[in-house]
Amino acid sequence: MKKSSILLFLLFALFLSSSNSNAHGIDYEILDNKVIAIRVTYSSGEPLSFGSFEILGPDEKIIHQKGRTDKNGIITFLPDKKGIWKITVTDETEHGLHKRLIEIKVDENFTVESRKREFSDKYIKIIAGIGFIMGLFGAFAILKNRRKLQK
């Protein structure tokens, strides 16, 4: 009777130890939910490959997700509440640190309701260039009129 009790105990212990060994394995599930994907590029259109990003959920102080874009400049995330999601993307190049804030409004179905889009850096540079040229012409016109008034 003792041998059968010991054998039963050993089999039970073996069963318990084998079920715990799978507790630290890796498993996965493919979700067919509404994933939000964002493509991030430089002004030239080139993908921002492996740029850093942080995602904050609506009214959150703790980061929802943190990581790097993939080689195509893509960020994906699955929102878990409605509201405005803020994605901060940063990248450092030989021209310095580049930073962009992206705001996406997610509705109760966890789909994109609206997005706030800032001017592209390319357009800001064009507008600044036009302003600089107009400033030069203005300064030239003032100097020209001043000379006429002095005569």
pLDDT of residue 110: 81
Tens of pLDDT, residue by residue over 76-132, are 999 999 999 999 999 988 888 889 999 999 998 888 877 666 656 666 677 777 887
Nearest to 35 by CA among 72, 85, 71: 85
- Left, alpha or beta for 80 (phi > 0: left; psi -120 to 50: alpha)? alpha
pLDDT, mean of residues 135-140: 80
pLDDT of residue 96: 85
pLDDT of residue 7: 66
pLDDT band of 60, cuts 50, 70, 90: very high
Rounded distance, CA 115 to CA 109, Å? 16
pLDDT, mean of residues 60-74: 96
Would you tell me how many other CB atoms lie within 10 Å of the CB of residue 73?
A: 19
pLDDT of residue 145: 82
Tens of pLDDT, residue by residue over 5-58, are 776 666 666 666 555 455 568 887 777 778 899 999 988 889 999 999 999 999
